[in-house]
Amino acid sequence: MSTPNQTRTTNAFYLQAGISFGIALLTMVFAIIYLPVDPWIRAFLGIGTLYLTTSAFTLAKCVRDAQESQYVVSRIDQARVDKILAEHDPFSSVS
């Protein structure tokens, strides 16, 4: 049974993505802390940043789950085709 082409993510890419996320989040937190505005505006921006961060993780998880389910369905379909081909005898008479 052949498997679909799937690219593997390297450790360097994980590291780059983690560092990039950390820098972006820390920069936003730093900007909110030192922004010359009232505390309630700072709190609003902080809640918005927290919401955006959790939404990004949720979206990434949904995309990953959709890709994994598609991969499983593809593997099941391929297994069915392989079974049909293995059971097929081209030399049997058609009735």
Q: From first to last of its 95 residues, what are the pLDDT tens digits of the chain?
A: 444 555 677 889 889 988 999 999 999 999 999 999 999 999 999 999 999 999 999 999 998 888 877 777 777 888 888 888 888 777 776 65
Q: From the CB of residue 35, how many other CB atoms can be counted at a distance below 10 Å?
A: 11
pTM of this structure: 0.59
d(CA 65, CA 71) in angstroms, rounded, equals 10
pLDDT of residue 19: 94
pLDDT of residue 27: 94
Q: Domain ranges for the chain, please list them.
A: 11-87
Task: Give every CB contact of residue 2 below 8 A, 6+ residues apart in sequence.
Answer: 78
